[in-house]
Amino acid sequence: MSENRTTDNGRRQFLGGALALGGITVAPGVFLMNVAGAKPAHEAVTSDVRWGLLVDTTKCADGCDACVRACQAENGWGGPDSNEVRSSDDQKAQWIRKVHLRNKQTGSTHSLPLMCQHCEHPPCEDVCPTGASFRRADGIVLVDKHICIGCRYCMMACPYKARSFIHEDLHGQKVNAPRGKGTVESCTLCVHRVDNDREPACVEACAAEGRRALIFGDMKDPGSEISQRLKRLGVRQLRADLGLNPGVHYEGV
Amino acid sequence: MKYDTFREVEGSKGFWTVFALFAAMVAVGLGAAWYMEHQGHWVTGMNNQIVWGTPHVFAVFLIVAASGALNVASIASVFGRVPYKPLARLSGLLAIALLVGGLAVLVLDLGRPDRLIVAMTYYNFKSIFAWNIFLYTGFMAIVAFYLWTMMDFRMRDYNKAAGMFAFIWRLVLTTGTGSIFGFLVARELYDSALMAPMFITMSFSFGLAIFLLVLLGLYHGTGRPIGDKILMRLKNLLGIFVAAVLYFVVVFHLTNLYAAEHAGAERFALLDGGIYTQLFWWVQVGLGSVVPLVLLFHSGLGRRRSSIVLASILVIIGGLAQMYVIIIGGQAYPLNIFPGMEVTSSFNDGVVAAYSPSLPEVLLGLGGVGIALAAVMLGVRVLRFLPDSLEDAQVDPHHARTETGEAEAQPAG
Amino acid sequence: MARFPALIRRAAALAAVLALLPAPVLADAPRPEIPRGKGDKCVEPTEVMRRDHMKFILRHRDETMHRGIRTKKYSLAECINCHVPKAEDPARQVHVSSPKHFCSSCHTYAAVTVDCFECHSDVPQETGVAKEDLVVPVHGSAPALDLEQEAARMAQAGGGAE
C-alpha cells in the first residue's frame, strides 16, 4: 500500500504542479482550486495535501452572513427551516458563526466567521475515547458519527467552541451531511465537495457576494493562492499560543 | 479479639423498607434516563456551551467518593492501623458500589448509551477518558480481589499486597478523574495540574463522609453496637481531609489570581459569577468546609454523634456544590478566543452561558446514589461485611490486649 | 439438580431438530414484499447482497469516512438512489418508517434494527457528484481491489451455502 502511495504521489505532484501553473494564468482573481487534490474517487487522501482556509477580515463585512447561510443550505442545519424543532437556541447546531470583535484599547471593530479550525494537533481528537474525532491525512478534522458515543468530551476540549451536539431526533438530513441525535458534529470543511474538487460552500458564497474574504486551498502547495497569502504580515491563527497549528488563518485582526 | 465475627445483617422490615426506597430511586433514575435518551437531550438543561450538566456533577462526585471510600481499608492494610481493620470490608464494598453508581450515571447520560459496546471495542489511547475506562474497571476487579483476601481465610497471605496495589490504583484513578478537567488547556477554570491532587483530597473527604453516614446508618438501623473510639478516629480524619481540600482550593485560586490573564475568570469565580460564586462561598466553603471543621474539632460539639452526622452531611452537600462549581461554572465562563477584544456573536461568545438543571437530570443523578446505596444494602445482607460489634473493646487494640492478650496473634494486614 | 442435564439434553435435541427444518416450514408468516430496484441487477448477485450487504456498506463507510474514497459502488446513498423510488409529491414519499421502504420491508420482517437512517437520508437526493465510478478501474488502488476480491469471496461462500 505504501509503495502505491509513493508512485501516486509522484504522478499527482507533477499533475498538480502543471495544473497550478495553468491556473495562475487563467485570469486575475480567478483561480483553479484544488488542483493538487484532484484525485480519482477510488484513491485515498494523503498528507501531501493540507487543506487550509484564510479569512481576510478586512474584506469580511459586518452584517453579512452569506457564509453561514451557505453552510446551512449545504449541510442542512440551522436557519429558518432548521430540522432542530425542539432544541433551544443554545442547543441548536452552530457549525459556523459570525463573531463581532471590538478592541478594548483602540475601539476598532472586526467581523469574522468562526468555525472548526481544523488543527494539526486537535484537542478534540486527543480526548475522544473511541477515536470518533479524527484528523484525515489531508488535515480535515471530522467526527466519525458511526462510533461517536455522545460523551461530549471533545466539546469540552475545543478552544473554539466549534462543535455541536444534536439534542433531538432529526429528519430530512442532506445526503452529503448525515447528522443525528446523540452525536457531535462540526464544520467538515465541506469534505464531500473537497473530495470532488470543489470549494467549501462558505468560500463559494463569499466569492459570489463579491467579497472573497475566504480563501481555500492546499497549504502544502507553494504555488497555491493560500500559500502565497499566508506569507503576508498580519496573518495569524486563533489561540496560536496553544500550539495546535490550526488550518484556518485570519488576516487583519 | 472478635474481629472475625462478621455477620450478614438481618432482613428486617425496616431494612427492606429502606432498601425499597433506594430501589425506587434507581427505578426513577432509569426512567429519567430513558426519557432523556428517547427525547434527546433537548429536555435537559444542557446545551452546546454547557455540555456536561447535573448528571456529571453526580457522576464525578460518586466516582471521586468511591476511591475515597476505600481509604479506610487502605489505612488498615497499607498503614497497618489495626482499629480500622473491622471496617475494611465495608470500605471495599462501598467503594465498588459508589463507582458502579457513578459510572451508571455517566453512561446513561451519553448521547448514544446504546453504543456502550463501541466504547468497549474502539479505544483512543491518547484519551484520558479511555484510560479511565481501564482505571475504573480495573479498580472494581482489584477491590473485589482485595475483598476476597479479607473475607477468605485461605487468601489472607495476599491481603497486604492486594491492599497496597488497590491503594496505588485508587490514587492513579483519582488522578485520572481530576485530569479529565486538569488537561483541558482551553478552559481557564480547568487548566491546572492541581486538579489531580485536589481531586485526591476531595476523594478522601467525600468518601469518608459517605462512609461515616453509611456505617452509622447500618449500625443504628440494625441495632448493632458501635463505640465512640472508632468514630472519634474517623471524625478527626474527616476534619483533616476537609482542611486539606480547602488548602488546595486556596492554592488553586491564588495561582490563578497572580496571573493577569486569569483575572477575569477569577473575578467570575470569586466575585460576580452569580450562582457559582454563591455556591462557592456559602455552600462549598461555608457550609461544606468551615461549619464541618467547627463541628468536628470543637471540644464540646466534636464529641457528639449528631455533630459527626451533621458534619458528614454538610461535607457531602459542600462536595456536590464544589463539583457543580468546578464542572458547570468552568463551562459557563466564556472561552477567551480573542484576548483583548470584546466579543459578541450568535452563540454566547463573550457571555456567561446559562444553565439550569432539569428534573430528569437531577433524578438520573439521584438514581446513581440509589444504585450505590441499594448495592451496599444487598451486599451486607447476603455476605459477611459487617462485624457484629464495633464496641470500643472490639476496636481498640490496647483494650483488647488487656482483656485477652490475643491482639499480637492478629496479623495487622 | 439431576434434572438439569436432562433438560439441557432435551433443549439441545429440540434446537437440532429446528435447525434441520427447512426455513419455510418455520416461517408460516407471509414473506416480505421487497420492492424492485432500478436497473437490471445490483452491484453483487442478489444472494450475496441478501447475506452480506452490511459488510460491503460497513467497509465502504470506513473507507469513505477516514480515507476519502468516494466510489459509488457499495455507497449507501447509491443503494437508496436505486432501491427507493423518488415520489413527485413529497407528501407521498416512502420513508424508512414505512414497511414499503426497501430497507424496512426486510428489516421489519427479520426484526433487525437499522441504525443508518438516524443520520443518513432514507430517500434519493442529488449528491452533486458528477463522477461515474460504479466501475472501479482495473488499475485502482489496493482498497478498491480488496472490495472486489471480498465480493468474489463472499459470492463463492454464499453460493456454497445455498
C127 chain-A contacts, CB cut-off 8 A: 175-176, 192
Mean pLDDT of chain C: 75
Report the side by side order of strands in the sheet with A109-115: A109-115, A96-103, B341-345
Joined together, the cell numbers standing for residue B225 give 453496637
Residue A107: which pLDDT band, with cuts at 50, 70 and 90?
very high
- Whole-angstrom CA distances from A67 to A73, A114, A143 are 10, 10, 21
**CA A125-A130-A134 angle, 5° bins:** 30
A138 chain-C contacts, CB cut-off 8 A: 68
* Position A11 pLDDT exceeds 50: no
- Asked if A146 contacts A155 with a C-beta cutoff of 8 angstroms, the reply is no
Please judge whether B110 and A148 are an interchain contact, meaning their C-beta atoms are less than 8 angstroms apart: no
Mean pLDDT of chain A: 88
Q: Locate the chain A residue with the closest alpha carbon to B112.
A: A149
Q: Is residue C8 part of a domain?
A: no
DSSP B225-277: -B-HHHHHHHHHHHHHHHHHHHHHHHHHHHHHHHSGGGHHHHHIIIII-THHH
Q: Inform me whether the C-beta atom of residue B262 falls under 8 Å from chain A C-beta atoms.
A: no
Hey, what amino acid is at B94?
A: L
- CATH class, range B6-409: mainly alpha
Please judge whether A4 and C127 are an interchain contact, meaning their C-beta atoms are less than 8 angstroms apart: no
B185 chain-A contacts, CB cut-off 8 A: 123, 159, 242
- Asked if B350 contacts B43 with a C-beta cutoff of 8 angstroms, the reply is no
Q: Is residue C1 part of a domain?
A: no
- Asked if A181 contacts B44 with a C-beta cutoff of 8 angstroms, the reply is no
Joined together, the cell numbers standing for residue B281 give 462561598
Coil/strand/helix, residue B155: helix
Helix axes B305-324, B54-69, angle to 10 degrees: 130
Coil/strand/helix, residue A184: strand
How far, in Å, CA of A56 to CA of B326, rounded?
37
How far, in Å, CA of A201 to CA of A214, rounded?
11
Nearest to C140 among A42, A169, A181 (CB): A42
Which of A55, A130, A135, A170 has the most B C-beta neighbours within 10 Å, making it the best mutation to test the interface with B? A130
Percent of chain B exceeding pLDDT 90 equals 90
* Position A2 pLDDT exceeds 90: no
How far, in Å, CA of A142 to CA of A133, rounded?
6
Which of A167, A170, A186, A241 has the most B C-beta neighbours within 10 Å, making it the best mutation to test the interface with B? A167
A123 chain-B contacts, CB cut-off 8 A: 184-186
**pLDDT, tens digit, for every residue of A199-238?**
999 999 999 999 999 999 999 999 999 999 999 888 999 9
Which of A138, A175, A193, A194 has the most C C-beta neighbours within 10 Å, making it the best mutation to test the interface with C? A175
Residue with cell 490514587: B171
Q: Is residue C68 part of a domain?
A: yes
Nearest to B219 by CA among B205, B238, B234: B234
Q: Inform me whether the C-beta atom of residue A143 falls under 8 Å from chain C C-beta atoms.
A: no
Nearest to C71 among A42, A180, A183 (CB): A42
Joined together, the cell numbers standing for residue B125 give 489511547
Domain of C50, in residue numbers: 29-161
Give the contacts of C103 (CB within 8 A, at least 6 positions apart).
Answer: C83, C96, C114, C116, C117, C122
Q: Inform me whether the C-beta atom of residue A45 falls under 8 Å from chain C C-beta atoms.
A: yes
- Our CA-based measurement puts residue B327 at a distance from the nearest CA of chain A, in whole angstroms, of 10
With residues binned 3-state (H G I as helix, E B as strand, rest as coil), the percentages for chain B, rounded to 5, are 75, 5, 25
**pLDDT, tens digit, for every residue of B312-363?**
999 999 999 999 999 999 999 999 999 999 999 989 899 999 999 999 999 9
* Position B37 pLDDT exceeds 50: yes
* Position C162 pLDDT exceeds 80: no
Give the contacts of C105 (CB within 8 A, at least 6 positions apart).
Answer: C32, C33, C34, C35, C99
How far, in Å, CA of C38 to CA of B321, rounded?
61
Residue A25: which pLDDT band, with cuts at 50, 70 and 90?
very low
Nearest to C142 by CA among A48, A43, A12, A46: A43
- Asked if B22 contacts B373 with a C-beta cutoff of 8 angstroms, the reply is yes
- Asked if A180 contacts A21 with a C-beta cutoff of 8 angstroms, the reply is no
Domain edges within chain B = 6-409
Q: A49-251 architecture in CATH?
A: 2-Layer Sandwich (3.30)
**Chain A neighbors (3+ CB pairs < 8 Å):** B, C
Please judge whether A153 and B335 are an interchain contact, meaning their C-beta atoms are less than 8 angstroms apart: no
Coil/strand/helix, residue A30: strand
How far, in Å, CA of A44 to CA of C66, rounded?
9
Number of domains composing chain C: 1
Joined together, the cell numbers standing for residue A163 give 462543535
ipTM value, please give it.
Answer: 0.91
- Whole-angstrom CA distances from B221 to A7, A100, A173, A223 are 77, 62, 57, 80
Contact map slice: B 15-54 vs A, CB within 8 A: 37, 39-42, 46-49, 51-52
* Position B252 pLDDT exceeds 60: yes
